[in-house]
Amino acid sequence: MTAVGDLVILPSQIVPHVSDGATLRVLYTQEQIAERVAALARQIRADLGPEEITLLCILKGGFLFTGDLARALDGPVHIEFLGVQSYGDEMHSSGAVRITHDLTRPIEGRRVVVVEDIVDTGLTLKYLMNVLAARHPESVHIAAFLEKPAGQSPVRPDYVGFSVGDEFVVGYGLDWAQRFRNLPYIAAVVR
Ligand code: IMP
Ligand code: MG
């Protein structure tokens, strides 16, 4: 166990540059994440073919996954951003989704891959799929870095990085009240 300021990391493998009074347990390391993202990129390219793929980054949580996926994908890639806010600063899904930043280009006729940080209840994705369908893309696939099986989402992602249990996780884009998004690993908040 390591203590850095008032932040405790279990097991101790990465020294964080935050000291926000939380105890974190590392679930997936930076190396495990890099390997998994490379495999997902190969799978996505194999499934969708050599044509241009539009990665639709769901802000804010999808920003690191999108950046890594974009660099791991061979062939032509466009990047778009859609900002949604689904939680406020709570640890539980409110079910209310709000668009905070809209697309700047049409996605009509495009091969879209929605890039999300995590699917929990799936309410965010369900809402998003309706919003996107109205804009007539050629196809929409969903890549979620994490999935909480306990959430029993009505919308299933086509590509999933890792499954996590019914715990609150941070890092690699995911926040707790806007903190910890910059951690290069995925960790569960112990307290
Ligand atoms: P859903 O609508 O319940 O599927 O929740 C999806 C959104 O809630 C995600 O895109 C995240 O922004 C957020 N979220 C859900 N679970 C967690 C978590 O464990 N840590 C951080 N954010 C989460
Ligand atoms: Mg999110």
Summarize pLDDT for 122-171 with one digit per residue, the tens.
Answer: 988 999 999 999 999 999 999 999 999 876 788 899 999 999 998 999 99
CB of residue 97 inside a 6 A radius of ligand 1: no
Determine phi and psi for 63, rounding to 5 degrees.
Answer: -70, -40
pLDDT at residue 16, rounded to an integer: 47
Ligand nearest to the CA of 118: 1
Amino acid letter, residue 99: I
Residue 120 is among the residues annotated as catalytic for this protein: yes
What is the pLDDT confidence band of residue 9, given thresholds at 50, 70 and 90? low
Handedness of CA 118, 120, 123, 129 (dihedral sign): positive
Q: Is the CB of 23 under 6 A from ligand 1?
A: no
- Is the pLDDT assigned to residue 3 strictly greater than 90? no
Residue 21's pLDDT band, with cuts at 50, 70 and 90, is confident
Entry pTM: 0.89
Residue with tokens 């590392």: 26
In this prediction, residues 81-87 reach a mean pLDDT of 86
- CA separation for the pair 64, 59 (Å, rounded): 10
Instruction: Check 6, 47, 120, 166 and give the catalytic one.
Output: 120
Does the Cβ of 180 fall within 6 Å of ligand 1?
no
- Residues 8-17, mean pLDDT to the nearest whole number: 50
Ligand nearest to the backbone CA of 93: 1
On the question of pLDDT at 15 being above 80, the answer is no
CA of 52 to the centre of ligand 1 (A): 29
